[in-house]
Amino acid sequence: MSKIKSVIKRNGTQVDFNQLRINNAIYRAAVSVGGRDYEQAKKLGAQVTAILEEKYAPDQIPNVEDIQDVIEKVLIENGHAQVAKHYILYREERTRIRERANRERNQHDSGNIPWEKIWRALDWAVDHNLNHIEGLNQRVAAGEMQEIVMESEVVYRQDIEQIAEQVLARQDEIRIVIVAGPSSSGKTTTTKILNEKLRRSGFQLKELGLDNYFYDLEMHPKDEFGDYDFETPQAMDLELINTQVNQMLKGETVLIPHYDFKLGKRTLAQTELHFEPNEMILIDSLFGLYPEMLSGVEDSVKMKIYIEPLLQMKTNQGKYVRWTDIRLMRRMLRDSIHRAYDYERTLTHWHYVRSSERRNIIPYMQYADYVINSAMPYELSIYTPKLIDSFRLWVQKYADDPLREDAYTRAERVLGLLEQVLPYPDDSVVPEHSVIREFIGGSIYD
């Protein structure tokens, strides 16, 4: 057992020292440069702890920055220059993210937000009295839920129609259509609907599910709560993806792997796939716009689509509903159905989701050819009766747990939101072809 008993976090709170956190920090940096030797990470982690024990007296408490400095030192002294470089860059990037978040809270500015799309969404919301929760509640109470659903679904479908027209205009050059975006933004349903529309226009397409290229769950960093961090591009076999996509573009037949999400296991060479010269490859992936994803394929043959629930609705406090909170609720519902995860597991895992999407997904939104808004204003009324009791429980459970600060902050914020929304328990109002069915179940695309 280590002589170091506690660590001071950046916000000043004191938590128990945990060797696993150091081991995982080293392993996570190694994974980012292609290494997957966890035993080596443990040995290096032990060196870090030994240095800390020598440096600090029993009554002294190191802070997070002190520990990270020692990690850098151990990596460099043991000849792991590439891993050390990545770790240093990661620390710098996390610092920039924190600073940017502080600026955005004060200035309400971000270079990653698609402002033209936002203004159109806001204009639509104002026209339909759905730009604030009060308006949504009024319409639901007046028996207009069916109308709200229809209005919302129509504008989403119009987005997909416009993309189909753009593909048609570039049909002589496009070979790959990519639907990218953060977790639970609606990529899967959007990909299926787009596939249908393009086929009706005479296109021949085949879907390539990049989720099948995830490494086995046990190969990813695991924290002290038993949770795995698989929310990064490096959690996928990028080399195999690039190799097989390029082979398919050349007309070669490949055997793609299969990933079982419930077991967390990948099986190689499972499904034969071949693309004819007149066919397009349709890809649905979190990291579809990440530079190393399909890095060997010319941009000119890609149609790049980004999707996000760009809801423009204010709470009773005058603050806009956060898109990440919508996606969190969506993923809770979806993962409980398709991945055997309970709601709480999704909540406590969400900090991994947000950390990765800030680094690996959202910054590349600007390179998309088209942005789709998957937000359905009515979805808040559908989610409220399903989730509000769980959020109440979590706010009580995590209120005094410094290791679950992120979970508590999110739970408190979402509970405050749901308490303002008039619940609508009958989800049969949601069409079978809706993007919302991807999360609550009952989709015709399942």
197-234 per-position pLDDT tens digit: 999 888 888 889 898 999 998 887 777 777 777 888 88
| pLDDT-derived band at 387, boundaries 50, 70, 90 | very high
DSSP class of 222: B
Q: Which of 20-34, 170-184, 235-249 has the lowest mean pLDDT?
A: 20-34
C-alpha–C-alpha distance, residues 178 and 371, integer Å: 12
Of the candidates 437, 421, 438, 420, the one whose C-alpha atom is nearest the C-alpha of residue 429 is: 437
Instruction: Give whichever of 26-35, 339-348, 427-436 has the largest mean pLDDT.
Output: 427-436
Task: Provide the pairing of β-strand 370-373 with 302-308.
Answer: parallel
* pLDDT of amino acid 10: 74
Q: Distance between CA atoms of 311 and 375, rounded to whole angstroms?
A: 5
Residue type, 302: K
CB-based contact 214:235 (threshold 8 Å): yes
pLDDT digits (tens, 9 = 90+) for 306-347: 999 999 999 999 999 999 999 999 999 999 988 778 999 999
| Other Cβ atoms closer than 10 A to 32 | 17
Q: Looking at residues 50-71, what average pLDDT do you find? A: 85
Q: For residue 73, give every residue at least 6 positions away whose Cβ sits within 8 Å of its Cβ, in sequence order, or none.
A: 51
438 token code pair: 């991807």
* Structural tokens at position 96: 């920039």
Is there a contact between 217 and 264 (Cβ–Cβ < 8 Å)?
yes
Distance separating alpha carbons of residues 13 and 25, to the nearest angstrom: 20
CB of 103 within 8 A of CB of 109? yes
Above 90 in pLDDT, residue 63? no
Residues ≥6 apart with Cβ < 8 Å to 190: 160, 179, 284, 305, 307, 372, 374, 435
Quick check: 101 pLDDT over 70? Answer: no
Locus of tokens 């030192």: 73
Q: Environment class of residue 117 by beta-carbon count within 10 Å: exposed (0-12), middle (13-18) or buried (19+)?
A: middle
pLDDT at residue 435 is higher than 70: yes
Q: What does the pLDDT average to over 20-46?
A: 83
47: CB partners within 8 A, 6+ apart: 74, 78
35-39, 47-51, 140-144, 149-153: which range is least confident on average? 35-39
Closest to 327 in 3D by CA, of 184, 440, 113, 438: 184
Residues 6+ apart with CB under 8 A from 235: 31, 214, 215, 220, 229
